[in-house]
Amino acid sequence: MKLLGLKPRIVSCMKNYSTDAFMKDLMAGIIVGIVALPLAIAFGIASGVTPEKGIITAIVAGFIISALGGTKVQIGGPTGAFIVIIYGIVNNPAYGLQGLLVATMMAGIILIGLGVFKLGAVIKFIPYPIIIGFTAGIAVTIFTTQMGDVMGLTQEAVTEAGEIVRVPLKTPGDFIGKWICYIENISSFNLWNFAIAIVGIIVIIASPRLLRSVPVLNKIPGSLWCILVGTGGVLLLKQYGITGIDTIGDRFQIQSQLPPMQVPGISFEMVQTLMPVAFTIAILGAIESLLSATVADGVISDRHDSNMELIAQGAANLVAPLFGGIPATGAIARTMTNINNGGRTPLAGIIHAVVLLLILLVLMPYASYIPMATLAGVLVIVSYNMSGWRTFKGLLKNPKSDVTVLLVTFFLTVIFDLTIAIEIGLVIACALFIKRVMETTEISVIRNEIDPSDEADMDVHEEHLLIPDGCAVYEINGPYFFGIANKFDDLQSALNTGHKPKVQIIRMRKVPFIDSTGIHNLANLIDMNHSQGIHIILSGVTPKVHSQLEKAHFYDKMNQDHICPHIDVALEKAREFLAE
């Protein structure tokens, strides 16, 4: 890392590390580990994998992100943002769990590459409406996926013995298909499941207020209280003969151990197919982790190393799948919990991973009693917090271009998938950006006289500079790039339909840069006009543009005397050509 100028933050934090700092990190790590437990289980199940895979991801990825990261307090692990992507891959017969593991490892390599080539700052340039659009879309999708468990819906299935039984509802992967499936099976609505989910949501919302006066109990997160109350309530109901309430143990066989490291099978065809998905996982992970790090910086008055953070995120996503883990990134909620409980070094994140490992090894068998409706309630709150509906509503008052990007990204995320949403959202955002830049570049034509007081690039002191007959002056004000080059050609064609001027002066004093398309169009313009005996003169070319033209061998097409430093020199040269 030293060769790249990068260094994990834990190295500097361990210098002059004190016992007092350790005790704060220890307490924060334990609390964050407890907070992460229900979320890891819920994210694992909602993603279509087993609950322990969510915890394994939080352990392995959380440890690596804290040990190698570029922030002091970032806590890593599975997050709700990945649920939609993971679920789509796992439930695709062409990929399954193996495809997910490969895509996650590919995303890890991409993230490491972004960090090594120091592209951490580039991620911050992704337009805000895109981030809000796909985040809100993910929130709606997560909410939708949980409705089956909230309402306790089931469907008929035939056993091997030919018996018809009710089994948990299996829904299609798409948004519309899910709601159609819910409506078709609404007759199986289970009031007890619904009541448990609603009670869980109320517990999460109310527990911080009710326990505010009891500091010890108030440190326990609402999601954990939700699981404790929901699990206890279901066990009590079963004592009174009430059945039909699904628990984790009814659907999954939980493994309370860290699995051995195993490299998934990889083929070139699989890599080609999964590249768009891997890219989406990498971009989403980078955005979420750097946003979390930026928020944390503001709270603890620090400055993170975005490139080192991306390398840590990449390493975590490269290693976690070897143990069966799913994609991971920095988690804002857990990071803020770490800060609020005194964590100030990466050691708190490492302790949080150790706490989760101990829970996996000792307490996981008890997780089988947790009701699915309770976990659904936890994820309903997660989706609400993720939606950012107030921000979404505020962005709707912005310019139409921003609203277009926001809504397109949102609806594509909900109706199709996140990969398509990010790709099309970025394309639309880039197109609108180019349009805005084009609107800032003005091209005007001057036929009669030039006013010296108008920021003129001239050395003479006449009140006005007269433009001789047979000469036209074109003023380009703004960047001369591919979006403007054709606009300039169209303007010339419209103005030269009748009598063409024998000399054309292109005034470039306000052109900050020119790209290859602009150079190409300018060269074609010179060739076309020279063939018709028309002289082209460049006036006031800035040093930067001059350097770009020189590197492109543009000046091979025109004599040096056709390039003038000021407009008065250019007009004098024009008079000479007209006299000839």
pLDDT single digits (tens) 168-222: 888 887 889 999 999 999 999 999 999 999 999 999 999 988 888 888 788 788 8
Q: Are residues 223 and 78 in the same domain?
A: yes
Mean pLDDT of all residues belonging to the chain? 87
- Average the pLDDT over 515-533 and give the result: 84
pLDDT at residue 9, rounded to an integer: 94
Do residues 404 and 476 share a domain? Answer: no
pLDDT for res 71: 94
The answer, yes or no, to whether residue 3 has pLDDT greater than 50, is no
| 465 DSSP β-pair partners | 450
Helices assigned H by DSSP within 219-267: 222-239, 248-251
pLDDT for 191: 94
Q: Is the dihedral of CA 87, 93, 94, 95 positive or negative?
A: positive
Residues 219, 360, single domain; the answer is yes
Provide the pLDDT for residue 351: 97
User: What is residue 21's predicted lDDT score, i.e. its pLDDT?
Assistant: 93
Q: Which residue has the higher pLDDT, 311 or 579?
A: 311
Within a domain: 11: no
The rounded distance, in Å, linking the Cα atoms of 67 and 208 is 31
The pairing of beta strand 154-158 with beta strand 76-77: unpaired
HEC per residue, 432-452? HHHHHHHHHCEEEEECCEECC
Residue in this structure with the two tokens 């609404």, named with its chain if needed: 186
* Percentage of residues in the chain having pLDDT higher than 70: 93
Tell me: the pLDDT tens digits for 137-160? 989 998 999 999 999 999 888 777
Residues 317 and 273 in one domain: yes
Q: With a cut of 90, say whether residue 103 has pLDDT above it.
A: yes
Pairing of strands 442-446, 449-450: unpaired
Q: Are residues 454 and 354 in the same domain?
A: no
Classify residue 195: in a domain, yes or no: yes
Q: Say if 387 falls within a structural domain.
A: yes
Q: Are 309 and 6 in contact (CB under 8 A)?
A: no
Let me know whether 63 and 204 are in one domain. Answer: yes
Give the list of residues 6+ apart from residue 345 with CB closer than 8 angstroms, or none: 10, 13, 14, 17, 21, 25, 72, 73
CATH number assigned to the domain comprising residue 518? 3.30.750.24
User: 260 and 279 in contact (C-beta within 8 Å)?
Assistant: no
Arithmetic mean of pLDDT, 556-560: 79
Residues 423 and 475 in one domain: no
Q: Who contacts 8 (Cβ-Cβ below 8 Å, separation ≥6)? A: 1, 67, 68, 69, 70, 308, 312, 346
Q: What is the SS3 assignment for 66-94?
A: HHHCCCCCCCEECCHHHHHHHHHHHCCCC
Q: Which of 310-319, 357-366, 402-411 has the highest mean pLDDT?
A: 310-319
pLDDT at 255: 83
Assigned domain for 132 exists: yes
Q: Kindly state whether residue 86 falls inside one of the protein's structural domains.
A: yes
How many domains does the chain contain in total?
2
Query: Which of 403, 431, 459 is the C-terminal boundary of a domain?
Result: 431
Residues 468 and 394 in one domain: no
CB burial class (10 A; 0-12, 13-18, 19+) of residue 111?
Answer: buried
Is residue 131 domain-shared with residue 38, that is, in the same domain? yes
Residue closest to 207 by CA, chosen among 183, 236, 228: 228
Among residues 571, 572, 517, 506, the alpha carbon closest in space to that of 541 is found at 506
User: Is the model's pTM score more than 0.85?
Assistant: no
Dist. CA 129–CA 397, nearest whole Å: 12
% of the chain exceeding 90 in pLDDT? 44
Mean pLDDT calculated for residue range 239-249:
86
Same domain as 550, residue 401: no
Is residue 342 within a helix (H) or strand (E), and if so which, with residue range? none
Segment 413-454, tens digit of pLDDT: 898 877 788 788 888 878 877 777 777 778 877 766 666 555
Residue 494's pLDDT band (boundaries 50, 70, 90)? low
Judge whether 12 lies within some domain: no
Indicate whether 130 pLDDT > 90: no
The answer, yes or no, to whether residue 505 has pLDDT greater than 60, is yes
Query: With contact defined as beta carbons under 8 Å apart, do 316 and 76 qualify?
Result: yes
Rounded Cα distance between 566 and 574, Å, is 12
Of 116-125, 337-346, 477-486, the one with minimum mean pLDDT is 477-486
Last residue of a domain, one of 408, 431, 454: 431
Q: Which of 431, 451, 478 finishes a domain? A: 431
Residue type, 14: M
In tens, the pLDDT along 13-24 reads: 999 899 999 999
257 and 379 co-located in one domain? yes
Predicted local confidence at residue 498, as pLDDT:
59
The secondary structure of 111-154 as a DSSP string is HHHHHHTT-HHHHTTS-HHHHHHHHHHHHHHHHHHHHHHHHT-E
**357 Cα distance to chain centroid:** 29
Task: Look at residue 166 and tell me if it is in a domain.
Answer: no
pLDDT exceeds cutoff 50 at 512: yes
**pLDDT for the residue 461:** 47
Distance CA 44, CA 356 (A): 14
Q: Residues 101, 143: one domain?
A: yes
For residue 313, pLDDT over 50 is answered with: yes
Q: How far is CA 203 from CA 94, 138, 253, in A?
A: 41, 24, 28
Residue range of the domain that includes 117: 24-152+189-431
Residue 168, class by beta-carbon neighbours within 10 Å (0-12 exposed, 13-18 middle, 19+ buried)? Answer: middle
Q: What is the mean pLDDT of residues 511-515?
A: 89
pLDDT of residue 472: 87
Beta pairing, strands 465-466 & 535-539:
unpaired
How many Cβ atoms are within 10 Å of 300's Cβ, its own excluded?
A: 12
Residue 89 is assigned to a structural domain of this protein: yes
Compare 453 and 562 and report the one with higher pLDDT.
Answer: 562
Beta-sheet strands, E only, within 390-485 = 442-446, 449-450, 465-466, 471-477
pLDDT band of residue 1 (cuts 50, 70, 90) is low
Q: Any idea what the Cα angle at residue 62 is, between residues 61 and 64, rounded to 5°? A: 65
pLDDT confidence tier of residue 464, bands split at 50, 70 and 90: low
